[in-house]
Amino acid sequence: MKSVQELRELRERTKAALAVRDREGGPRIVVCMGTCGIAAGARDVLRSLLEELERQGRDDVTITQTGCKGLCEREPMIEVLIPGSAPVTYGSVTPDVVKQIVDDHIIKGQVVSEYAIAIGSEGN
Amino acid sequence: MRELSLHILDIARNSVEAGARNVALTVVEDPERDRLEITLQDDGRGMDAETLARVTDPFYTTRTTRHVGLGLSLLKATCEQAGGVMELTSTPGKGTLVRCVMGLSNFDRPPLGDLAAVIQSLACETEHTELVYRHIVGDSEFRLDTMEVKRELEADCLCAPPILQWLGRHVREGLHDLGSRA
Ligand code: FES
């Protein structure tokens, strides 16, 4: 079966990535997946997030999800947590905004202030 | 919601939030009987009779319990518009079963949409919640069991980008080979 072969190859690759992640605690991105988040497009945000991370070869990022945060009008929302810096919550995130967040925030460490709705302790 | 897969994601998220360790999603496309059947079974916290009655009442849920259950009332309305029904059974402490039946060719039935992205989303939770996804079209079946994938990868969870991407492609291919047209 082709998929088993693919999985074996994937195993080697992910083992290395997961080891780095466990050792150094890589970035974490939390996607809000409550009902209104989903209705507003959170699933497609997650999809483009994965595509963007793949394009950039960032195997070390952890993706998690959370439920409703009570800010429906700012959905879809994601939170970016980079070890050693303040967590940032982004609102009204579209697939295009995702690209910007990955390029600027995940890769270069610069907050995309246009879409940031909270910086600091909030959440997590 | 404009796709059934978004409803599926939403109710599966309820399962995750209800502490389910196992979620079974089954989609059956039956062209012969012109039926589309979607079932989601979990072993989460479950609901008592009163909550159960409430979660499908859109007026009650939107006002008082802040969105919890809103998705179920939306799904129920969608099923009924598409000439079908939604059944909800739940036992406190045991789990919940949601079963939807719709006319496959019904004009008002939303498309299934991007189920692969839904599976990717649910796979992010595999540290705590396992998913068995079965998709049946006529006599053929596609099956994905996150526990098997984890075992094969020797990983505790699937929430790493390369794994999630592989899963997405695997599901897309699987559904394509299956000839899913819903
Ligand atoms: S899901 Fe309700 S505000 Fe996010």
Mutate which: A6, A43, A58, A102, vs B, most B CBs within 10 A: A43
For B127, the closest chain A residue by CA position comes to A64
If phi > 0 it is left, if psi is from -120 to 50 it is alpha, else beta; for residue A90 that is beta
For A63, the closest chain B residue by CA position comes to B159
Is the per-residue pLDDT at A115 higher than 70? yes
- Pocket, ligand 1, Cβ cutoff 6 A: A 32, 34-37, 68-72, 75; B 67
- In one-letter notation, the amino acid at residue A119 is I
Taking an 8 Å cut-off on Cβ atoms, the answer to whether B66 and A50 are in contact is no
Report residue A9's pLDDT band, with 50, 70 and 90 as the boundaries: confident
Residues 6+ apart with CB under 8 A from A69: A32, A34, A77, A123
For B165, the closest chain A residue by CA position comes to A50
Report residue A124's pLDDT band, with 50, 70 and 90 as the boundaries: very low
Distance from CA of B34 to the nearest CA of A (A): 28
ipTM: 0.90
The pLDDT assigned to A1 comes to 53
The pLDDT assigned to B63 comes to 47
Q: How many residues does chain B have?
A: 182
Weakest mean pLDDT among B53-62, B76-85, B133-142: B53-62
Query: Could you give the 3-state DSSP secondary structure of residue A31?
Result: strand
Q: How remote is the CA of residue A34 from the centroid of ligand 1, in Å? A: 5
Name chain B contacts of A51, Cβ cutoff 8 Å.
165
Weakest mean pLDDT among A113-122, B2-11, B14-23, B161-170: A113-122
The pLDDT assigned to A10 comes to 85
Name chain B contacts of A4, Cβ cutoff 8 Å.
152
pLDDT by residue (tens digit) across A36-65?
899 999 999 999 999 999 999 888 899 999
Distance, in Å, from the CA atom of B117 to the CA atom of B75, rounded to the nearest integer, reads 19
pLDDT by residue (tens digit) across A65-104?
998 777 888 999 999 999 989 999 999 999 999 999 999 9
The pLDDT assigned to A121 comes to 67
- In one-letter notation, the amino acid at residue B134 is R
- Give the closest of B1, B70, B152 to A4, CB-based: B152
Percent of chain B at pLDDT > 90 equals 77
pLDDT by residue (tens digit) across B40-61?
999 999 988 888 888 877 666 5
Q: What is the 3-state secondary structure (H, E, C) of chain B?
A: CCCHHHHHHHHHHHHHHCCCCEEEEEEEEECCCCEEEEEEEECCCCCCHHHHHHHCCHHHHHHHCCCCCHHHHHHHHHHHHCCCEEEEEEECCCEEEEEEEEECCCCCCCCCCCHHHHHHHHHCCCCCCEEEEEEEECCEEEEEEHHHHHHHHCCCCCCCHHHHHHHHHHHHHHHHHHCCCC
The pLDDT assigned to A67 comes to 85
pLDDT by residue (tens digit) across B144-158?
999 999 999 888 889
pTM for the structure as a whole: 0.92
The pLDDT assigned to A15 comes to 80
The pLDDT assigned to B52 comes to 84
Instruction: Return the bridge partners of B22, or none.
Output: B130
If phi > 0 it is left, if psi is from -120 to 50 it is alpha, else beta; for residue B5 that is alpha
What average pLDDT does the segment A5-19 reach? Answer: 81
Query: Could you give the 3-state DSSP secondary structure of residue A43?
Result: helix
Name chain A contacts of B168, Cβ cutoff 8 Å.
47, 50
Q: How remote is the CA of residue B67 from the centroid of ligand 1, in Å? A: 8
Q: Which two tokens stand for residue A71?
A: 């800010």
Mean pLDDT of chain B: 91
- Give the closest of B74, B164, B168 to A63, CB-based: B164
pLDDT by residue (tens digit) across A14-25?
887 777 777 777
Query: Could you give the 3-state DSSP secondary structure of residue A108?
Result: coil
Report residue B164's pLDDT band, with 50, 70 and 90 as the boundaries: very high
If phi > 0 it is left, if psi is from -120 to 50 it is alpha, else beta; for residue B113 that is left
Distance, in Å, from the CA atom of B96 to the CA atom of B113, rounded to the nearest integer, reads 24
Taking an 8 Å cut-off on Cβ atoms, the answer to whether A38 and B10 are in contact is yes
Mutate which: A6, A49, A50, A102, vs B, most B CBs within 10 A: A50
Taking an 8 Å cut-off on Cβ atoms, the answer to whether A46 and B170 are in contact is no
Distance from CA of A59 to the nearest CA of B (A): 6
